[in-house]
Chains A and B, each alone.
Chain A
């Protein structure tokens, strides 16, 4: 490869991409052959923990998985209940403290963990 093609950052040949994709997906599939698939259970338990504190609609839960070479990302997107319900839920949890702008806190939380790189244990994000 010449120095010029380096600067042009020539697109990687498709065969190279094919090989990389195969290596990643197959490493996971081979690992998955031994031992049960724990993801469905992990997802269920995570949700039940969250459900202890927040009244979530099971239909508004989105689960995404991205299998990577070095690390994988499991992303849980959970639509939280409307502001009013959330307020009372927060009040119930935290007692009679002044209202801590729950919506912003939830958003900030999601952004921070996204910036930290891959979430390995799930992220909770609020949608309006």
Chain B
């Protein structure tokens, strides 16, 4: 049986797609057969971040509507063996996502895959609701910023009341926090919420802290999940988070400011 993960946040632009691409790639690198699905109907982007935008022929909605077979719409990653992408439609709207249709596709995928990762759109409308409805695990992507934290709390409420597991009285969807775009220097200056502040408020376990990193933009420029940039902070932080997701105990890195040499300190002071 496969596990269904949703990458969700409520708020837009916090790093769901970046994290979905990184996580799916990380799980596949660990040997799990993984598919990542774009639920952001009308605003297809996962394909770009994964670097497969030129290979999209059919999409998720085509499969739901029976216009294409699942095997025709799945795109196999060129770099990593166990990794597949199911892109979304660029032209339709989110009403095309019917619960029955989504369930059918997920059932078919679960016969083949170890992990099904759903990249949620922003908001709490149909697309977001459908992406989380069937989830076993939820990764709550949050930025250390007031509106993102509040929206994450909203989404936790939705997971606890409107997911399949909630509606059917099953074991609740497991929930973990992925705090992204974290800037330890700003935290130290008192300008940004600390990891502990966010944890205290949301009260869910911490999966990882992804630092604000220029590597993320570089990676998306070239269509490569940032986790493959092994030299980058962000890439390493995602690798750690995947390890933790699989139950390993890994200490959190990149949560305090990098030790600076005297030279760069002098530079900052004069800046």
Contacts and interface: CB of A to CB of B under 8 A. Distances in A.
B187 A15 contact: yes
Task: Identify whether the interface residues of B are mostly helix, strand, loop, or mixed.
Answer: helix
Contacts, number: 39
Contacts of B146: 18, 21-22
A14 B190 CA distance: 6
A30 B193 contact: no
A125 to B, nearest CB: 33
Task: Identify whether the interface residues of A are mostly helix, strand, loop, or mixed.
Answer: helix
Interface residues of A, number: 14
B201 A26 contact: yes
B204 to A, nearest CB: 13
Contacts of B187: 15
B155 to A, nearest CB: 12
Contacts of A30: 153, 157
Interface range on chain B (Cβ under 8 Å from partner)? 10 to 19
Contact of A16 (B145, B153, B190): B190
B192 interface: yes
Choose among A13, A22, A26, A30 the residue with the greatest number of B CB atoms under 10 Å from its CB.
A22
Nearest to B196: A19
12 contacts: A13-B189, A13-B191, A14-B190, A14-B191, A15-B192, A15-B197, A18-B193, A19-B193, A19-B197, A19-B200, A22-B149, A33-B161
Interface of B: 145-146, 149-150, 153-154, 157, 161, 187, 189-194, 197, 200-201
